[in-house]
């Protein structure tokens, strides 16, 4: 089971949405194909911390039942937890905490196919860096590692392995941030819109 959650104005790191991550060779010699991905950061005062918890709990409860879900959440989710079985982790428990975000939660959202990518200009989408889907130079600001973004994700749970993961469905640039590193559920441009008009500055058009 999976549930879609739209998160507004989150911080990002290691955004790889224009190209897949590199393939990785495993210890047994097999190859794990690279995916599209982005790391999402929510400081402890983020307005949707509770919504994130509620969505995770609903997914786990659907898979395991109420009693087992309570036990799983207590063991794997929340402050002080940085568990392999849960994609959403406590930042403070990282071996190398984020410099500007010592507390809060983070997770790596992944996608087998390229997620929907939206610039700061309403309705302008991309599949390639610097260009819109029509092959023209973008007018809005585009996502990068460290920017503030709206994201649409699918939170899912494997009943067999008791593992919780996050799929990346869509991402939209909504604000500047400090540069940082480098599904079956559908998402739409509307999932990424704020209530207010997007007033992010636009980059000057560049020539190819």
Tens of pLDDT, residues 70-106: 999 999 999 999 999 999 999 999 998 888 999 999 9
Instruction: Tell me, yes or no, whether 199 lies in a domain.
Output: no
Check if the beta carbon of residue 19 is closer than 8 Å to that of residue 38. Answer: no
Query: What is each CA distance from 173 to 2, 33, 125, 201, in whole angstroms?
Result: 25, 27, 11, 11
Q: Is the model more confident about 130 or about 208?
A: 130
The verdict on residue 126 lying in a domain is: yes
Structural domain includes residue 28: no
- Residue 36 pLDDT level (bands cut at 50, 70, 90): very high
Q: Is residue 45 part of a domain?
A: yes
DSSP annotation of 184 reads -
pTM above 0.75, yes or no: yes
pLDDT, position 194: 66
Q: How do beta strands 148-158 and 163-175 pair?
A: antiparallel
Q: What is the CATH number of the domain that holds 38?
A: 2.40.50.140
User: pLDDT tens across 104-121, in order?
Assistant: 999 999 999 999 999 999
Domain with 166, as residue range(s), is 2-20+33-192
Structure tokens, 128: 């390639």
CA dist., res. 40 & res. 150, Å (int) = 10
Q: Is residue 11 part of a domain?
A: yes
pLDDT of residue 141: 98
28 DSSP β-pair partners: none
The residue whose two tokens read 């590193």 is: 181
pLDDT digits 0-9 by tens, 154-203: 999 999 999 999 999 999 999 999 876 543 345 566 766 765 444 443 33
Beta-carbon contacts of 140 under 8 Å, excluding residues fewer than 6 positions away, are 119, 120, 121, 124, 173, 200, 202, 203
- According to the model, what pLDDT value does residue 187 have? 56
Per residue in 54-71, pLDDT tens? 999 999 999 999 999 999
Q: Residue 92, class by beta-carbon neighbours within 10 Å (0-12 exposed, 13-18 middle, 19+ buried)? A: middle
In-domain check, residue 203: no
Residues 169 and 174: their CA atoms lie apart, in Å, by 16
In a domain, 198, yes or no: no
> Could you give the angle at the alpha carbon of 1 between the alpha carbons of 151 and 49, nearest 5°?
40
Question: In this structure, is residue 134 part of a structural domain?
Answer: yes
List CB contacts of 47: < 8 A, sequence separation 6 or more.
8
Model pLDDT for residues 118-141, shown as the tens digit of each residue:
999 999 999 999 999 999 999 999
The number of domains in the chain is: 1
**Residue 207: band (very low, low, confident or very high) from pLDDT cuts 50, 70, 90:** very low
- Report pLDDT for 1: 73
* pLDDT (0 to 100) of residue 160: 96
């Amino acid at each position: 089971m999976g549930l879609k959650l739209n998160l507004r104005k989150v911080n990002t790191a290691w955004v790889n949405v224009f190209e897949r991550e590199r393939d990785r060779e495993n210890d047994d010699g097999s190859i794990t194909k690279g995916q599209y991905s982005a790391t999402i950061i929510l400081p402890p005062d983020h307005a949707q911390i509770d919504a994130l918890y509620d969505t995770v709990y609903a997914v786990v409860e659907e898979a395991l039942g109420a009693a087992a879900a309570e036990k799983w959440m207590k063991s794997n989710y929340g402050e002080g937890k940085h568990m392999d079985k849960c994609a959403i982790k406590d930042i403070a428990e990282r071996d190398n905490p984020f410099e500007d975000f010592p507390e809060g939660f983070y997770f790596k959202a992944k996608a087998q196919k390229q997620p929907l990518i939206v610039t700061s200009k309403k309705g302008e989408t991309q599949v390639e860096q610097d260009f819109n889907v029509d092959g023209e130079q973008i007018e809005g600001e585009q996502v990068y590692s460290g920017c503030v973004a709206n994201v649409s994700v699918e939170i899912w749970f494997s009943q067999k392995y008791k593992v919780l993961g996050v799929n990346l469905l869509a991402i939209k640039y909504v604000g500047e941030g400090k540069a940082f590193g480098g599904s079956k559920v559908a998402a739409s441009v509307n999932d990424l819109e704020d209530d207010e008009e997007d007033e992010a500055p636009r980059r000057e058009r560049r020539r190819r």
